[in-house]
Amino acid sequence: MEDIITLDYGSGGQKTSELIESLLLPAFDNPALRSLGDGAVLPGAENLVFSTDSFVVSPWKFPGGDIGKLCVCGSVNDVCMAGGAPRYLSLSFILEEGFPMQSLREIAASIASQAKQAGVIVATGDTKVVERGKGDGIYINTACVGFLRAAGLGKDSIRPGDAVILSGSAGCHGAAVMMARAGLAQGSALVSDCRSLHQLSEAALCAGKIRILRDPTRGGVATTLNEFVEGTAFSIEVEESAVPVDPPVEAACDLLGLDPLYCACEGRMLAICAPQDADAIVSALRTLPGGEQAARIGTVTGSYPGRVVLHTRLGGTRILAKLTGRQLPRIC
């Protein structure tokens, strides 16, 4: 590890893992934390799921959402991905002196609307203010408590032959925020996928045997897939042609030099499931808003232990590594 914190440590990729595994995890080690899921099933209160996220997205408003919508979806989705039904949200602001009251009002309205949609209440909160130049307008932390709905999710249950499902197109959120940051979002068809996953995760859990769920946020689909198999005897083989990517995302990524597979999603779900249930799960997802493009994108195999491999459209095969360093700072 380096001597100082760099932006890479916040990327959600290799450096973030390094920070967690070599500094944070050893300090706080316990079974709940060790699973390194998006949310934790609480030891001694196994009916409860708990998650947290801080949001520092820049700009705070982007096509398809804002930091308010994002901060609800982020923590709600983490509870969903841990197999929980989200119910209670905590909400804490770090505001920079000079932030417009009208923007705060707009963000509060966005939080309220998204919370209603996701079926959670803001149960408790906090507000801090820092001096001008010690923040960037607004940072928000949310934590979410929910009730466990499906126990035993986790990478330990993944088996060769399992199917890998993605609930929608890759990389919309990351591409939309980067275009907004570059001042290029106006008039573009590019919209963040930011959305609460409570319905999609519930539908997947009802439709078949799910091994693990995770939303591919920082580091994108490629990094999350790597988290599923790293340190195991299994690999994931992905068919590039099966991964839905919207044309405006493709175009934006070309323009910005990004790869959609490494761009953050904020309303997509990766699911690994028993092979015989894959079709039923995909069909169930496709009936729901935000799941219309759900697709089976790959398979768990034993051919490349611990690795994710992409079978490209051109017939080639390449390793899809975890994101190293930063691709997109402050994407959420």
Nearer to its own copies, 2 or 156 (CB): 2
Cβ(212)–Cβ(158) under 8 Å?
A: yes
Query: Could you tell me whether strands 84-96 and 121-130 are parallel, antiparallel, or unpaired per DSSP bridges?
Result: parallel
- Residue 20 vs 251, nearer CB to its own copies: 20
- Smallest separation (angstroms) from its own copies to the CB of 114: 11
Give yes or no for a contact between 56 and 136, defined as CB atoms under 8 angstroms apart: yes
Residues 6+ away with beta carbon under 8 Å from 300: 158, 159, 160, 161, 162, 163, 164, 229, 234, 235, 236, 272
| Minimum separation from the CB atom of position 274 to its own copies (A) | 27
Among 21, 100, 152, 160, binds its own copies (CB under 8 A): 100
Find the helix or strand (DSSP H, E) in which 139 lies.
strand 138-148
Residues 247-286 that bind its own copies (CB under 8 A): none
Whether the Cβ atoms of residue 196 and residue 77 lie closer than 8 Å to each other = yes
Q: Which of 5, 151, 182, 255 is close enough to bind its own copies by CB under 8 A?
A: 5
Q: Which is nearer to its own copies, 2 or 292 (CB)?
A: 2
> How many residues at the interface with its own copies, by CB under 8 A?
80
Nearer Cβ to its own copies (3/231): 3
Degrees to nearest 5, angle at CA 204 with 234 and 159: 15
Q: For residue 77, what are its two tokens?
A: 């989705």
Cα separation, 266 vs 14, whole angstroms: 20
Would you say 97 or 156 has its CB closer to its own copies? 97
Q: Which is nearer to its own copies, 6 or 312 (CB)?
A: 6
Tokens in use for 181? 């940051």
Contacts of 73 (CB under 8 A, 6+ apart): 65, 114, 118, 194, 195, 196, 197, 266, 267
Interface of this chain with its own copies, residues 124 to 163, rule: CB under 8 A = 124-131, 133-136, 139, 141, 143, 145, 147
**Other CB atoms within 10 Å distance of the CB of residue 238:** 23
Relative to beta strand 210-214, strand 138-148 is unpaired
SS3 41: strand
Which residues within the stretch 173-192 sit at the binding site for its own copies (CB under 8 A)?
none
Exactly one of 119, 154, 275, 329 binds its own copies (CB under 8 A); that residue is 329
Instruction: Please calculate the CA angle 57-49-295 and round it to the nearest 5 degrees.
Output: 65
Given the complex with its own copies, which of 115 and 197 has the nearer CB atom?
Answer: 115
Give me 229's structure tokens: 């198999």
CB of 174 to its own copies, least distance (A): 15
- Decide: is 73 part of the binding site for its own copies (CB under 8 A): no
Is residue 42 exposed (0-12), middle (13-18) or buried (19+ Cβ within 10 Å)? middle
What minimum distance in Å lies between the beta carbon of 55 and its own copies?
Answer: 8
Place of tokens 């990351």: 174
The site string for its own copies over 29-68 (x = CB under 8 A, - otherwise) reads -x-xx-----xx-xxxx--x-xxxxxxx------------
Piece in contact with its own copies (CB under 8 A), picked from 116-124, 150-158, 189-197, 292-300 = 116-124
Q: How far is the CB of 50 from its own copies (least distance, A)?
A: 5
| Residue 147 C-beta: closest distance to its own copies, Å | 8
Closest distance of CB 4 from its own copies, Å: 5
Binding to its own copies in span 80-99, by CB under 8 A: 87-88, 90-99
Supply the minimum distance, in Å, between the C-beta of residue 94 and its own copies. Answer: 5
Closer CB to its own copies, 3 or 314, in the complex: 3
